[in-house]
Amino acid sequence: MTSRIATLQAFSKANRHGLATPADRPPALTVRLQASPRHFASILDAHEIFAWLINLEAPPESSERLFGLLTTDEQSRALRYKIAKAREQFVIGRGLLRRLLGEYLAQEPQTVPLCYLPSGKPVLAGNSPPIHFNVTHTDGWAIVAVGYHRLGVDIERVRPVTDVVGLVSRYFSHIEAEDFRRLPEPYHTAAFFRGWTCKEAVIKAAGATVAYLADFDVEVNPQFPPCVKAVRDPVLASTGWVLAEWRTSANAAVAFAVEGVEQLVIQPEGNL
């Protein structure tokens, strides 16, 4: 545990408050994507992000057991969900997040100190080591991602979308919408989920909200690698957002946004 924290503190000195210069940045960061029910990594490496793809239909622990890992506030929140599926998503995601953070911090899951930014983003509270995390869910799947960089993750099950052009005009920036309209129709679904997941991942990494959807542009053309092309609002500012995407075998689109690295590489382990 001591060495874990030491690595983390040494690394965070250069990167604290996002002040790392391009020269300090690690050239590439690996997102180690594992499927449930593989066990947690025992050590969180400074040069990787651990991302856990969780099958919500077959979680590694029952939701009853995971409910017991939540704080009383979280348990009350869970009980307020009227839709059972939404309640399960929250309980499983939050319970396994607490398990994972508890493992890295060497403390009981219930005592991991979580608090919320004004936008609603849950973060580690107080003087905890600078571990960052983010959670996402879609129909049947969740991802919990943990690392030493500000990060955001989004997963969306790819499905037919009616009025995709209308949705793009409504939710994407003007520039993204123009880029989208130039694409041939067969690319539209892929471009929509590329844009959607990448935009959500950036917003979530920055701890912002959907109110900022028009304030930055991502590459929506799925023939090109994902990237952030422009940022127009300081709320979304960073030392540089890097994006990477993955399509699961269950046809869910996944995007990660991470701050302060030159390159992000997703390394899936097992049949994902």
Binding site for ligand COA (CB under 6 A): 90, 93-94, 119-122, 134-137, 152, 154, 171, 196, 199-200, 203-204, 207, 209-210, 213
Among 164, 159, 143, which residue's Cα sits nearest to residue 254? 143
Supply the minimum distance, in Å, between the C-beta of residue 6 and ligand COA: 28
- Distance CA(97)–CA(40), nearest Å, equals 11
Shorter beta-carbon distance to ligand COA: residue 122 or 240? 122
- Distance CA(198)–CA(211), nearest Å, equals 15
Supply the minimum distance, in Å, between the C-beta of residue 156 and ligand COA: 8
Shorter beta-carbon distance to ligand COA: residue 4 or 156? 156
DSSP 3-state of 221: coil
C-alpha angle 37-42-43 in degrees, rounded to nearest 5: 130
Shorter beta-carbon distance to ligand COA: residue 20 or 198? 198
Supply the minimum distance, in Å, between the C-beta of residue 213 and ligand COA: 6
Shorter beta-carbon distance to ligand COA: residue 22 or 118? 118
Shorter beta-carbon distance to ligand COA: residue 35 or 97? 97
What's the token pair of residue 244?
Answer: 């990477």
Supply the minimum distance, in Å, between the C-beta of residue 2 and ligand COA: 29
CA of residue 94 relative to chain centroid, distance: 14
Supply the minimum distance, in Å, between the C-beta of residue 272 and ligand COA: 18
C-alpha angle 134-204-76 in degrees, rounded to nearest 5: 60
Question: Torsion angle of alpha carbons 14, 19, 23, 27, nearest 10°?
Answer: 80
Shorter beta-carbon distance to ligand COA: residue 188 or 204? 204
Supply the minimum distance, in Å, between the C-beta of residue 269 and ligand COA: 22
- Distance CA(148)–CA(125), nearest Å, equals 15
